[in-house]
Amino acid sequence: MEAAVHMETHRDKKGKMHPKQFALMLMIIGMVMLFAGLTSAFIVRKAEGNWFNFELPAQFVASTVAVVVSSATMILAFYHAKRDNIKITQISLAVTFLAGLSFVLFQYEGFMDLAGRGIYFSPDNGSEGGMVSGSFIIALVALHLLHLVGGLVFVAIVFIKSLLLKVHKKNTLSISMCNTYWHFVGILWMYLYLFLYFAPQL
Amino acid sequence: MSNDHGHHKETFISKYIFSMDHKMISKQFLITGIIMGVIGVAMSILFRLQLAWPDSSFPILEWLFGEKWAPEGRLDSGFYMGLVTIHGTIMVFYVLTAGLSGTFSNLLIPLQVGARDMASPFMNMLSYWFFFLSSVVLMSSMFVETGPASGGWTVYPPLSALEKAMPGSGLGMTLWLTAIILFIVSALLGGINYIATVLNMRTKGMSMNRLPLTIWAFLLTAILGLLSFPVLLGGGLLLMFDRLAGTSFYLSDIFLGGGVGALEQTGGSPILFQHLFWFLGHPEVYIIIMPALGITSEVIAVNARKPIFGYTAMIISLMGISVLSFLVWGHHMFITGMNPLLGTVFLIMTLIIAVPSAVKTFNYLATLWRGSIRFTNGMMFAIGLVSLFITGGLTGLFLGNAALDITLHDTYFVVAHFHLVMGSSAIMGMMAGIYHWYPRMFGRMMNKTLGYIHFWLTFVSAYLVFFPMHFQGLAGVPRRYYSFNILPEFAPWLDVNVFITLAAILGGVAQIIFLYNFFSSIFVGEKSVQNPWEANTLEWTAPVEHIHGNWEGEIPTVYRWPYDYSRPDADSDFIPQNVPDTGSSEEVYVSPTKPDTSDAKEVEEKDNVMLFALIKNWFGLGRA
Ligand code: HEM
Ligand SMILES: [Cu+2]
């Protein structure tokens, strides 16, 4: 039990985090600032008026579900990696990857849905000024997608490592970092979704 | 961490080019910074020629820039703006951010906290190469057909967002943005490393409150960068989209002359960019000055042979500056028509930031007070920083008052303010650092006489150049104007402009002396001894010859704070941090905030250090 607690946060005896894990945390802080800046920009622009509100595509709900599922399986993978249940780790990682992939597809569908309603990243010539809301939303979602695809590559790498039996009780750094990052992109999506969902009322 | 790289055979490429050793990377940053600095200074002298003698022909300009940008030896007006823009960009980002932080954080963090290298030497190397690439991209914009970006270093839209707006809005602007994005990547890679190293890799005994103030300054600088550069990245990405993808985040209701007519872009807000830019922009000015202040703390304490006055107050004021610097960006935007209530909030926050700044300057003066001062070159520049920081900081209080700023904004008053408080004073800090740590970097000493000449010419010319600009600004002379010929109300200032330009040339010449001194001393300077300034910090315990891993054998253990100078109870007037207290065991905790209480009491107080002790000392409680 104690060993498990100790490994969960990937600290050494003195309670210090592994430098790579620590650097990842700092990088995440930087990414948080990126999105904090952009959502603030969203609010500032919206407050100026002349802003077109529209419903988010229904597909974004599906992608939210996908991200929750993938996070859950990620937790499972990490939990079992620490207990040397390699098989379960491998399967969970594969499911995480697939759920992440379906997230990407749902996002794509969402963009198509927006386009079907005439909402583009760069609005048509001569369209209303308020359509800039579409550019904002697509920029935010696409930038998040980029971060998530980076995470997907990370998951793939850790999955391959686990197939090569390089992820186990004594070697959890990579899966631990992957776990941290994947939850970050998941939480970031939840934040963005809620933000955009409630934005018309702001 | 340890020595696992130590046994690789080093080739020329791995030693000098793709080096992962923090000492070499620090030199790479310094030399690149110096090269960029030379370019930036030269540009400023060239456009000052235009301001002083607007109607004269200077064949050298045509020779340098060709017939296109300097027909008949007179700068083209668009190219004048290009030079101003690139000068500002180079000085702010390339010299005073990368050149300053990059050099000294890299050199000093591992050496002063007692680590063998950075947390990630590889990321550190990447950080330099992104910086290098960024410099190349920026400079390449000088050679494109439509000229470099020319909307000022703050690149406000619409000039920066509309390719058609003017020649400088074309490819040059795209290259500018690309360069800055590369720069941000470099700054983030570096900053993450600095933070990780300071927090995780300190040697035994190096508690946070035994850190030299240099390290505190570098740490907080890196944190500021980590929190603010991503926001500029966001703003820059939106600008890129406006330029390349047809969005209009920043564009609306624009009518172009020359038969183009009304543009289609609509719905954006140019003010939005200003918010995103200054949310970085203001912390950025502190990213520039804080390392310089940290260097000054160290250099002044060493050369006054006194403990730095108010160690804790110094740290708290750095923290205060860091927090406040995120809450004042609006003072650059008072005249954008912001809500007066919001303007007032920014006004108050801005004036409050003067308090920690003043605490720092008073502490410098108090450290100098009755010290046995050694006027080394480094010390001269450190004192120069204090002088210029005060002079420039005072005018910040004028500008911070929204009502006064309405008339002062975009005049030479602002130019005077920031060139004194940031430009000149941070250059002084950088020079202090170079003269002070040169022996540590190159194992040799710089020539002292040349150093004095360099200091006095630089110091005097800084005042001669920037002080008169206050009066120009008060009289309403706008900044970034190419020529005042057709504005008779500004004619009286032409003589002053001539004077300023002559002083600027003097300052430029002084830097040639420095360059000679710097580069020749690498080869012919007097060999340095181990600890030439008799300083306490750990870097002077490492061997003069650079070795990978910094120390042979064990990393020294730290037993005391770094400012034990002239202790009345000691024989020598300095006690390096790795000297144990006689008769006490390793565990003894010596509170840096109270260096001369008895051992027994110190052990007792071990637990309530940091915050409580900091607060107590801040209010002067618990002092004899
Ligand atoms: C006492 C503290 C300070 C106050 C109250 C202050 C206030 C201001 C204000 C209100 C402005 C805007 C002026 C305008 O554009 O109309 C300004 C501009 C500026 N300040 Fe300060 N300042 C202070 C210290 C500093 C420091 C320490 C630095 C740098 C190290 C700095 C760098 C700058 C720069 C670079 C600009 C002009 C940027 C531009 O428009 O190109 N200031 N300052
Ligand atoms: Cu500011």
Q: Is B87 in the pocket of ligand 1 (CB under 6 A)?
A: no
- Asked whether residue A1 carries a pLDDT value surpassing 50, the answer given is no
Cα→Cα distances B229→A156, B186, B329, B562, Å: 30, 10, 14, 32
Structure confidence at residue A7 (pLDDT)? 39
Kindly report, residue by residue over B281-295, the tens digit of the pLDDT: 999 999 999 999 999
Cα→Cα distances A92→A76, A80, A89, A156, Å: 6, 9, 5, 12
Pairwise pLDDT comparison (B440 vs B606), residue with the higher score: B440
Query: In the 3-class helix/strand/coil scheme, how is B311-369 assigned residue by residue?
Result: HHHHHHHHHHHHHHCCCCHHHHCHHHCCCHHHHHHHHHHHHHHHHHHHHHHHHHHHHHC
> What percentage of chain B reaches a pLDDT higher than 70?
92
Kindly report, residue by residue over B316-336, the tens digit of the pLDDT: 999 999 999 999 999 999 999
| Geometric angle at alpha carbon B128, from B122 and B134, rounded to 5° | 135
Beta strands in B160-315 (DSSP E): 255-256, 261-262
For B226, residues 6+ apart whose C-beta sits below 8 A from its C-beta are: A26, A29, A30, A33, B188, B191, B192, B195
At A137, the pLDDT band (50, 70, 90 cuts) reads: very high
Q: Do A126 and B264 touch (CB under 8 A)?
A: yes
Residue B353 CA to its chain's centroid (Å): 18
Residues of chain B in contact with residue A30, where contact means CB-CB under 8 angstroms, are: 188, 192, 226-227, 229-230
Of A50-54, B170-174, B583-587, minimum mean pLDDT range: B583-587
- Asked whether residue A48 carries a pLDDT value surpassing 80, the answer given is yes
State whether residue A37 is helix, strand or coil: helix
Structure confidence at residue B165 (pLDDT)? 85
Q: Which of B557, B556, B555, B558 is nearest to B592 (CA)?
A: B558
Smallest CA separation from ligand 1 atom 6, residue: B396
Structure confidence at residue B546 (pLDDT)? 80
Q: Mutate one of B247, B254, B271 to test the A interface: name it (highest A CB count within 10 A).
A: B247
At B259, the pLDDT band (50, 70, 90 cuts) reads: confident
Q: Is B409 in the pocket of ligand 1 (CB under 6 A)?
A: yes
- Residue B574's CB is within 10 A of a number of other CB atoms, namely 19
Give yes or no for a contact between B452 and B377, defined as CB atoms under 8 angstroms apart. yes
- Asked whether residue B605 carries a pLDDT value surpassing 50, the answer given is no
Q: Which of B105, B71, B75 is nearest to B87 (CA)?
A: B75
Mean pLDDT of all residues in B33-49: 96
Decide if B196 touches A, using CB distance below 8 A: yes
Q: Do A22 and B200 touch (CB under 8 A)?
A: yes
Of A194-198, B146-150, B420-424, B599-603, minimum mean pLDDT range: B599-603
At B604, the pLDDT band (50, 70, 90 cuts) reads: very low
Give yes or no for a contact between B441 and B27, defined as CB atoms under 8 angstroms apart. yes
DSSP B95: I
At B616, the pLDDT band (50, 70, 90 cuts) reads: low
At B598, the pLDDT band (50, 70, 90 cuts) reads: very low
Structure confidence at residue A28 (pLDDT)? 97
Structure confidence at residue B258 (pLDDT)? 76
Structure confidence at residue B613 (pLDDT)? 58
Q: Which of A145, A149, A119 is nearest to A134 (CA)?
A: A119
- Asked whether residue B82 carries a pLDDT value surpassing 50, the answer given is yes
List helix spans (H) across B525-574.
none
Which of B228, B231, B266 is nearest residue A129 as measured by Cβ atoms? B266
Nearest chain A residue to B234, by CA: A34
Pairwise pLDDT comparison (B622 vs B222), residue with the higher score: B222
List residues in chain A touching B: CB distance below 8 A.
16-17, 19-20, 22-23, 26-27, 29-31, 33-38, 40-41, 44-45, 48, 50, 121-123, 125-132, 135-136, 139, 143
Residues of chain B in contact with residue A136, where contact means CB-CB under 8 angstroms, are: 249
Cα→Cα distances B137→B167, B179, B180, B187, B589, Å: 18, 6, 9, 16, 51
Of A74-78, B219-223, B443-447, B554-558, minimum mean pLDDT range: B554-558
For B237, residues 6+ apart whose C-beta sits below 8 A from its C-beta are: A139, A143, B181
Structure-block tokens of residue A25: 């945390």
Q: Where are the domains of chain A?
A: 16-201
Q: Is B353 in the pocket of ligand 1 (CB under 6 A)?
A: yes
Structure confidence at residue B584 (pLDDT)? 47
Q: Is B29 in the pocket of ligand 1 (CB under 6 A)?
A: no
For B283, residues 6+ apart whose C-beta sits below 8 A from its C-beta are: B224, B225, B227, B228, B322, B325, B326
Give yes or no for a contact between B563 and B581, defined as CB atoms under 8 angstroms apart. no
Smallest CA separation from ligand 1 atom 2, residue: B354
Residue B411 bridge partners (DSSP): B478
Mean pLDDT of all residues in B123-130: 95
Structure confidence at residue A69 (pLDDT)? 96
At B614, the pLDDT band (50, 70, 90 cuts) reads: low
pTM (predicted TM-score): 0.90
- Asked whether residue A127 carries a pLDDT value surpassing 80, the answer given is no
Mean pLDDT of all residues in B129-137: 97
Mean pLDDT of all residues in A117-136: 82
DSSP B91: I
CA of A136 to nearest chain B CA: how many angstroms apart? Answer: 8
Distance of alpha carbon B153 from alpha carbon B156, whole angstroms = 8
Mean pLDDT of all residues in B204-225: 95
Mean pLDDT of all residues in B529-546: 91
Kindly report, residue by residue over A140-184, the tens digit of the pLDDT: 999 999 999 999 999 999 999 999 999 888 889 999 999 999 999
CATH of A16-201, one of 3.30.70.980, 1.10.760.10, 1.20.120.80, 1.10.10.60: 1.20.120.80
- Asked whether residue B609 carries a pLDDT value surpassing 90, the answer given is no
Mean pLDDT of all residues in B293-302: 97
Structure confidence at residue B621 (pLDDT)? 53
CA of B260 to nearest chain A CA: how many angstroms apart? Answer: 15
Mean pLDDT of all residues in B345-362: 95
Distance of alpha carbon B289 from alpha carbon A79, whole angstroms = 46
Residues of chain B in contact with residue A50, where contact means CB-CB under 8 angstroms, are: 267
Residues of chain B in contact with residue A17, where contact means CB-CB under 8 angstroms, are: 200
Mean pLDDT of all residues in B337-362: 94
Q: Do A41 and B264 touch (CB under 8 A)?
A: no
Pairwise pLDDT comparison (B112 vs A128), residue with the higher score: B112
At B78, the pLDDT band (50, 70, 90 cuts) reads: very high
> What percentage of chain B reaches a pLDDT higher than 90?
76
- Tell me how many residue pairs between chain A and chain B have CB atoms under 8 A apart: 110
